[in-house]
């Protein structure tokens, strides 16, 4: 059992779940205090000792079912399906009892597999399949195209064709012994169903092995597919799945800012003053001198368009904004459609989903059910919040710049840029659409230090890289 725990621990690590040696030892100790007969208790005990983050629970649950009981349940389901398909007038118990009576008086030499199929011994069949999988090297499976290949190799290792031949010969011997023809036909039907169930079970075992061995690859493939999915097409479930990635992006920004602060505290090495101070040591730099810099904490102000035309986009961007809010201390968040209102307190006082829902409803500060008017929103920001912008402030605008042919009031953004450290625009539309139709992005571009298309997670990651460099 300890070997199985080690294998399961390695599987979790391969799938990205961080399990330390100490936690694996805790799992061993937990086994001494509980019964393995209670599957749910065993599963909960392993989860308690091995999983630290709530985001890893779905991965743990899936791998636990695959590793500990996935094939066990699948095999028994296949055997039950084989029996249920025989028909309601099929008396299985009577048939097997009659068969046992006849076989006691016959000299029959059957292989393990043939005996297991004849006796419907699920435990022995499972052992034989697992042994065949090990002998066939199924743990080396890498992709779906190999499922058929390894399934055939496993059947060959079990000598499936030989066992099937033995059972056909047995039927002929039973006929010669005077076994009733009706019962003989029922037995033949049962054995065919068992053999079909065995084939399906072997293929199912191979598929589970692929899922188990390549769980990290499949999860990485899913994440990469999600990273390239347009924000416009995101579902609520997609947005929830992206939460961890978004938090990592926010932490990346925080880490860079923290590193810059540490450098500012220490200062820059001053070669001239170091040489001057160490003249008494013959020029040997025993004492290092650093130029001290004035510490200036950066500030961030985020303006997010929540109009209906970009509802999916802004829900994701608000999640990104929320993550930034938890990673930084000096952040102010605003939402707008035509009116502009501050929602910093919503993100500070609520969990992410409640905060986003309230922000999408305007946070009781704006009317979200109107037509977009970037000019009006920028004018409000210039009038009411420009005093809070200084040379330490980075202003981030998230929106498509679709202004419904209203006055863009680009001069407001120009005034903001004059005072701010940077103005960054994140636009979910392709640059080819900027300035066409009711888009006024071309009017705002001269007053942006950085403006990028950002319609999926991969593009957002690249933009974060550009911001922090």
Q: Where are the domains of the chain?
A: 53-219, 238-265+296-468
Tell me, what's the pLDDT at 376? 95
Tell me, what's the pLDDT at 100? 73
The answer, yes or no, to whether residue 381 has pLDDT greater than 90, is: yes
Specify the higher pLDDT residue, 447 or 185: 447
What's the angle, vertex CA 327, arms to CA 427 and CA 259, rounded to 5? Answer: 100
Over the chain, what is the mean pLDDT? 77
- Summarised one tens digit per residue, pLDDT across range 433-442 is 999 999 999 9
- Is there a contact between 336 and 358 (Cβ–Cβ < 8 Å)? no
Tell me, what's the pLDDT at 174? 82
Pairing of strands 331-336, 340-342: antiparallel
The answer, yes or no, to whether residue 450 has pLDDT greater than 80, is: yes
Residues 84-95 have a mean pLDDT of: 65
- Is there a contact between 341 and 334 (Cβ–Cβ < 8 Å)? yes
Cα–Cα distance for residue pair 347/359, rounded to 1 Å: 9
- Summarised one tens digit per residue, pLDDT across range 230-247 is 766 767 666 666 666 666
Q: Which residues contact 343 (CB under 8 A, 6 or more apart)?
A: 333, 334, 335, 355, 358, 359, 363, 365
Tell me, what's the pLDDT at 66? 65
Q: Is 291 helix (H, G, I), strand (E, B) or coil?
A: strand
Burial call 128-166: b when 16+ CB within 10 Å, e when fewer: bbeebbeebebeebeeeeebeebbbbbbebbbbeebbeb
Class at the top of the CATH hierarchy for domain 238-265+296-468: alpha beta
Q: Going along 220-295, which residue ranges are E strands?
A: 268-269, 290-291
The answer, yes or no, to whether residue 135 has pLDDT greater than 60, is: yes
Tokens 């390695």: give the residue: 10
- Summarised one tens digit per residue, pLDDT across range 346-368 is 888 887 778 777 877 766 788 88
The answer, yes or no, to whether residue 145 has pLDDT greater than 60, is: yes
Q: 367 exposed, middle or buried (CB, 10 Å; 0-12, 13-18, 19+)?
A: exposed
Q: Is 396 helix (H, G, I), strand (E, B) or coil?
A: strand
- pTM greater than the 0.85 cutoff: no
What's the angle, vertex CA 329, arms to CA 325 and CA 333, rounded to 5? Answer: 40
Residues 57-62 have a mean pLDDT of: 75
From residue 277, alpha-carbon distances to 163, 253, 454 in Å are 91, 38, 52
């Amino acid at each position: 059992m300890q070997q199985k725990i080690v294998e399961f621990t390695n599987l979790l690590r391969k799938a990205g779940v961080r399990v330390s040696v100490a936690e694996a030892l805790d799992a061993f100790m937990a086994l001494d205090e509980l019964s393995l007969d209670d599957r749910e208790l065993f599963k909960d005990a392993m989860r308690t000792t091995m999983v630290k983050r709530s985001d890893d629970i779905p991965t743990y649950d899936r791998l636990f079912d695959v590793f500990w009981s996935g094939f066990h349940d699948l095999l028994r389901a296949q055997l039950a399906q084989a029996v249920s398909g025989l028909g309601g007038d099929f008396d299985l118990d009577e048939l097997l009892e009659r068969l046992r009576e006849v076989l006691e008086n016959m000299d029959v030499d059957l292989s393990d597999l043939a005996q297991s199929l004849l006796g419907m011994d699920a435990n022995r069949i499972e052992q034989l399949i697992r042994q065949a999988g090990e002998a066939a090297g199924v743990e080396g499976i890498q992709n779906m195209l190999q499922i058929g290949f390894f399934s055939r190799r496993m059947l060959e290792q079990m000598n499936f064709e030989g066992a099937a031949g033995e059972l056909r010969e047995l039927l002929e011997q039973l006929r010669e012994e005077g076994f009733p023809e009706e019962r003989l036909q029922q037995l033949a039907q049962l054995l065919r169903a068992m053999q079909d169930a065995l084939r399906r079970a072997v293929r199912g075992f191979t598929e589970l092995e692929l899922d188990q061995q390549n769980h990290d690859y499949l999860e990485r493939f899913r994440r990469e597919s999600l990273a390239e999915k347009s924000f416009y097409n995101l579902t609520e479930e997609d947005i929830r799945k992206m939460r961890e990635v978004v938090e990592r992006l926010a932490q990346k920004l925080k880490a860079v800012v923290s590193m810059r602060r540490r450098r500012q505290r220490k200062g820059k090495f001053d070669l001239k003053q170091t040489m001057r101070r160490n003249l008494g040591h013959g020029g040997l730099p025993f004492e290092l001198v650093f130029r001290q810099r004035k510490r200036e904490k950066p500030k961030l102000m985020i303006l997010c368009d929540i109009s209906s035309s970009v509802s999916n986009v802004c829900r994701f961007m608000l999640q990104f904004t929320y993550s930034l809010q938890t990673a930084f201390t000096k952040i102010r968040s605003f939402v707008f459609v035509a009116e502009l209102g501050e929602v910093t307190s919503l993100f500070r006082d609520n969990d992410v989903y409640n905060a986003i829902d309230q922000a999408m409803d305007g946070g009781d500060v704006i009317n979200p059910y109107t037509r977009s008017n970037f000019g009006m929103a920028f004018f409000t920001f210039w009038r009411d919040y420009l005093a809070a912008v200084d040379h330490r402030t980075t202003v981030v605008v998230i929106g498509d710049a679709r202004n419904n042919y209203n006055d863009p009031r680009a001069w407001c953004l120009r005034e903001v840029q004059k005072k701010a450290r940077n103005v960054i625009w994140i636009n979910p539309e392709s640059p080819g659409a900027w300035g066409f139709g009711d888009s006024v992005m071309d009017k705002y571009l001269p007053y942006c230090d950085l403006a990028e298309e950002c319609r999926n997670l991969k593009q957002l990651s690249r933009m974060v890289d550009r911001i922090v460099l």
